[in-house]
Amino acid sequence: MKPRLPAALLAGLCLVLLLVAALVAPEHLPDKAPDLKWAGPADVPPFGADDGGRSLLHYATQGARVVAVPSIVAGMVVAAFATLGGVLRAMGVGWFDRVLQAGGEVVGALPRMVVILVVALVTPDEWRGLLPLAVTWALLSAPGAMDEAAAVAERLGGARFVEALRAHGYSASRVYLYHIVALNLRPVVVRQAAEVMMQVVFLEIGLSYIAEEENQTDFTHPANLKSWANLLKLGYASLVVDVPSGHALGLGLGLIGVVAVMGLALGRAVRSR
């Protein structure tokens, strides 16, 4: 077995879990069952129940539904920008460095969360959701990713590398798509995408938690869906008051762990040899 295969399998498994959970998520939580209030995993398998006796499995799947598509889209946006950054450097486009530096300065001048909150505020109600925020986060991350990918292309030799391969008779598409993107930019591009996916999930949890705490309309999902932040909120009570909701906290942290493992494993799976 190749050393990178287990990491690839682990990342794939986590991603499939996330997508399947998102697909099977119900539109609404079921009716309350007061008899099962705070029931443990043994009574309401597999994760136990909330204060209304409803299975925490629904929280897990609905939370996956909230984050799955936006985080993947954000990852793809960053991957596309990083690839573009690497390819333009390999093509030896002269103005690219200046544009990249200026873009990085403008985009990176403000704290990201400030930009995200302003975007959340000015997003019309009908567009509200995690997707616009995720795309904004991806755009804010893009200059850094492009810069790193461009540095990789620079280390390869930039335009001279392309020229050398072309002199060996390779077609332009093979040089750019296979030698540059697939063989050399891949580790950076995929790692950056995985990091942004992870950050978008954590961003959603942070914003949802605070909205829940303030009893305000959530920026990231409609009211009929529960976020993984709701699990943390339920479980937090077990830390500070005598509420038996530790299983909710465990599940929330476990789901965060799955996302972190997915990000790490994805980065490891595509490491260069």
Residue 73's CB: how many other CB atoms inside 10 A?
A: 17
H helices within 92-185, ranges in order? 96-107, 112-122, 130-156, 159-167, 172-173
Report DSSP state, residue 37: T
Contact string 85-114 vs another protein (x = CB under 8 A):
----------------xx--xx-xxxxxxx
The window from 5-13, 74-82, 181-189, 197-205 that contacts another protein (CB under 8 A) reads 197-205
Contact residue for another protein among 72, 264, 265, 266 (CB under 8 A)? 264
Which are the contacts of 53, defined by CB distance < 8 A and separation ≥ 6? Answer: 32, 33, 34, 35, 36, 37, 39, 44
Determine which residue in the list 42, 167, 223, 240 makes contact with another protein, applying CB under 8 A. 240
Is there binding between residue 169 and another protein (CB under 8 A)? no
Instruction: Report, in angstroms and rounded to the nearest whole number, the Rg of the chain calculated over CA atoms.
Output: 22
Dist CA 60 CA 45 (whole Å): 13
Residue 190 engages another protein in binding (rule: CB under 8 A): no
170 counts as binding another protein under rule CB under 8 A: no
Take residue 227 and report the two structure tokens written for it.
Answer: 């976020």
Based on the shown chain and the rule CB under 8 A, indicate whether residue 187 belongs to the binding site for another protein: no
Instruction: Select from 37-45, 58-66, 74-82, 233-241 the region that touches another protein (CB under 8 A).
Output: 233-241
Q: Does 10 bind another protein (CB under 8 A)?
A: no
Q: Which stretch binds another protein (CB under 8 A): 2-10, 80-88, 174-182, 255-263?
A: 255-263
